[in-house]
Amino acid sequence: MTRVFSGIKPTGHLTLGNYLGAMRQWVAVDQHRAEALFCIVDLHALTVDHDPARVRRLSRQAATLLLAAGLDPRLCTVFVQSHVDEHARLSYLLECVATDGEMRRMIQYKEKAAREQRRGGSVRLSLLTYPVLMAADILAYGADEVPVGDDQVQHVELTRDLAVRFNQRYGHTFVVPRATRPTVAARVMNLQDPASKMGKSDDTGPGIVYLLDEPDVVRRKVMRAVTDSGRDVVYDRESRPGVANLLEILAACSGGNPEALGGVYESYGALKRDTAEAVVEVLRPVQERHKELCADPGYVEGVLRDGAERARAMARPTVDAAYRAIGLLPAD
């Protein structure tokens, strides 16, 4: 059976980008057709300046939202990265296979390191090695597929390179995974700045729709979205990025196709109104279920405890095999 692994980082409140670009596929498709693991990757949240209490709170919230969105622990495994030691164990071995140059070429590293420096902070070493830990997350489980939004594809490509290199040098140990992306909304853009991704750790609140935003907040954000000069509604990512983003969001939320929807609207106002309502309707059941789950924290904790146990049992044999293959003396 195909094995699927993906993760989400608790560095901010989850956004519509996370939902449309990743979570929705996990819920609607992946958990039903594959042996699937979904991980709250809390170790990754320590790679930039962080508040310990906030990371803890966001990790719990992310787990609750994944379940609220429809991940079903009877069908898939939901767990927290730091509960399974195998991720960190394998990451070190992969650091011995990866190169410094490879890490410095990662687009997200360049962007985030530049941001930290602009803020006057220093860049944590873990930010540079982040993609190696991500590779460990994936390879520890022998995942065949990694469903992600566009921004993570380069990291999955690196994971493939590391798996192939390790296998060539030390004998076949890892499955070589591939990224899968949604057909629409693989890159949801910031509503106030359609040239940049809608990212949960950004500071531009009005351009980001959070999964827990009240309906009126969602409506306000969408109605104030930056649109392009020109008046006709056409789907063109290059010359009309603001309108194209709204059409993609609407298509993803209503099941349509962005090009076809472009022909339906005569004004930006009508497009924004329909997009806002479509987003509100997609978020409504997730928010309702989230409220119910918040009233039952024991349930979420139990899911995470069982998930970590299952994940450990799956990762252990592969990581032990990698230890032996690379030349470390077995302890027993």
Pairing of strands 3-8, 76-80: unpaired
Among all residues, whose Cβ is closest to ligand TYM?
Answer: 21
How many amino acids of this chain bind ligand TYM (CB under 6 A)?
A: 26
Instruction: For residue 43, state whether it binds ligand TYM (rule: CB under 6 A).
Output: no
Q: Is 200 a catalytic residue?
A: yes
List phi, psi (to 5°) of 210.
-90, 150
Query: Which one of 110, 200, 221, 272 is the catalytic residue?
Result: 200
Q: Is 10 annotated among the ligand-binding residues? A: yes
The residue within the footprint of ligand TYM, chosen from 44, 60, 221, 290 (CB under 6 A), is: 44
Q: How many Å apart are CA 306 and CA 293, to the nearest integer?
A: 17
| Bridge partner list, 42 | none
Q: How many Å apart are CA 316 and CA 220, to the nearest integer?
A: 48
Instruction: For residue 148, state whether it binds ligand TYM (rule: CB under 6 A).
Output: yes
Whole-angstrom CA distances from 272 to 33, 77, 123, 242 are 35, 37, 39, 11
The answer to whether 89 and 9 have CB atoms below 8 angstroms apart is no
Q: Is 197 a catalytic residue?
A: yes
Footprint of ligand TYM on 119-138 (CB under 6 A): 134, 137-138
Q: How many Å apart are CA 266 and CA 239, to the nearest integer?
A: 18
In single-letter form, the type of residue at position 304 comes to L
- Options 3-11, 51-59, 301-309, 323-331: segment touching ligand TYM (CB under 6 A): 3-11
Query: Which one of 197, 221, 272, 291 is the catalytic residue?
Result: 197
Which is nearer to ligand TYM, 104 or 324 (by Cβ)?
104
In single-letter form, the type of residue at position 75 comes to L
The answer to whether 47 and 35 have CB atoms below 8 angstroms apart is no
Which is nearer to ligand TYM, 7 or 242 (by Cβ)?
7
Structure tokens at 104: 């410095």
Which is nearer to ligand TYM, 70 or 299 (by Cβ)?
70
Q: Which residues are known binding-site members for L-tryptophan?
A: 137
Catalytic annotation, residues: 112, 197, 200
Binding site for ligand TYM (CB under 6 A): 5-9, 17-18, 21-22, 41, 44, 134, 137-138, 146, 148-149, 151-152, 155, 186-188, 197-199
